[in-house]
């Protein structure tokens, strides 16, 4: 979140909780603490909090981070490209060695 978004959050808190004061020091602290948070998710948590609590929220009660990107599909595509470079004879050799290993382990 950027500082302007944090200010929007603080002003919304101040509007709903009259004992909540917004000043430059609080804005700077909250902006630093919330810089990696997602504005939309924090806003949703604030709306829920306002409905459910008569006390102003803390940063911890509003914290919401964007979901981490799942790189699994990109990794799989990269592996497929690497596998395509391996000669078919090498792949067949690997399959045979794997089958021999499986046979050897199942006969133990």
pLDDT tens-digit series, residues 64-74? 999 888 888 88
- Give how far Cα 106 sits from Cα of 29, 55, 94, Å: 63, 65, 18
Q: Calculate what percentage of the chain has a pLDDT beyond 70.
A: 100
pLDDT tens-digit series, residues 11-21? 999 999 999 99
- CA dist 27 and 7 (Å) reads 6
Q: Residue ranges per domain, the chain?
A: 3-62, 72-106
Closest CA to 49 of 21, 16, 19, 2: 16
């Amino acid at each position: 979140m950027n500082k302007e978004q944090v200010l929007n959050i603080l002003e919304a808190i101040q509007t709903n909780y009259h004992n909540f004061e917004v000043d430059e020091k609080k804005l700077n602290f909250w902006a630093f603490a919330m810089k990696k948070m997602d504005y939309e998710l924090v806003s949703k948590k604030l709306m829920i909090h306002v409905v459910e609590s008569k006390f102003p929220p803390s940063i911890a009660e509003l914290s919401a981070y964007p979901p981490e990107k799942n790189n699994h599909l990109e990794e799989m595509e990269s592996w497929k490209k690497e596998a395509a470079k391996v000669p078919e004879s090498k792949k067949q050799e690997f399959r045979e060695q794997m089958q021999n290993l499986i046979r050897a382990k199942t006969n133990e």
